[in-house]
Structure 1
């Protein structure tokens, strides 16, 4: 099975690995991932940087702080995350999820305290992996 990988500063998510036809986001896990993504998007749209940072996975939070050389709440605006809009689709496989929004794609992982955003501001590039504004190491 393919998992999220980091290669040359890009979040690598092969398109074929996400064609999870048999493992879609229906059910409680998909609903929980969708709700986490929607909460993240609300925080972005309202400028609630503390909530945005709280929604990030630990490695993604560390990456934001290291890249911005500041606490997450001060550094996250520099990431210029788009307001993604409403959830269009959710693909869940194991403890990983991809949530496609109207104008963004988020990748989440399930932690003991719920779903956290591993990568955000992701754009699919034809024939290439997603490129994300925020990602974990």
Structure 2
């Protein structure tokens, strides 16, 4: 053993990083479902700031770059379908997929919680999903 000492800041980061990994599968599914529900509520209420806050950083950047303006304006230009009720939730480690009646949403886990990486996604036979909003 090296005898190296780590300060409280390092230990806090380690604890936060491992906290999400310690959640039960049911807790992870519940957290993913709650994030998608909040996203859909913000969509229904036409609250672009809340929608943008729910996006993963690279997804938000991709949206802004492709639209040529800030997220809160760009997200309003997207044609996201009314999603309907949740039909199925899959969580694979730090990634998740939520299948709704009329949409599929993908998420990733970050230190700040679950964030949307793609939305407005439709399956295509033997090809990747086609998504209205997606990260690079």
TM-score tier (shorter): 0.7 to 0.9
**How many residues of Structure 1 are paired with residues of Structure 2 in the alignment?**
113
Alignment RMSD: 1.2
Report the CA distance between 1:95 and its aligned residue: 0.3
Distance (whole Å) between structure 2 residues aligned to residue 90 and residue 26 of structure 1:
11
Say which one has the larger Rg: 2
Runs of 4+ in 1 over 3 A off after TM superposition: none
Report the CA distance between 1:133 and its aligned residue: 0.5
Report the CA distance between 1:26 and its aligned residue: 4.8
Residues 27-59 of structure 1: CA distance to partner in whole angstroms, max 9, x if unpaired?
100100010011111111111111100000000
Q: Which moved more, 1:112-121 or 1:81-90?
A: 81-90
Q: Is the CA contact 1:95–1:110 (under 8 Å) kept in the aligned structure 2? A: yes
Matching residue of 2:129:
130
Matching residue of 1:59:
58
Structure 1, unmatched stretches of 5+, are 1-24
Distance (whole Å) between structure 2 residues aligned to residue 41 and residue 105 of structure 1:
12
Report the CA distance between 1:102 and its aligned residue: 1.2
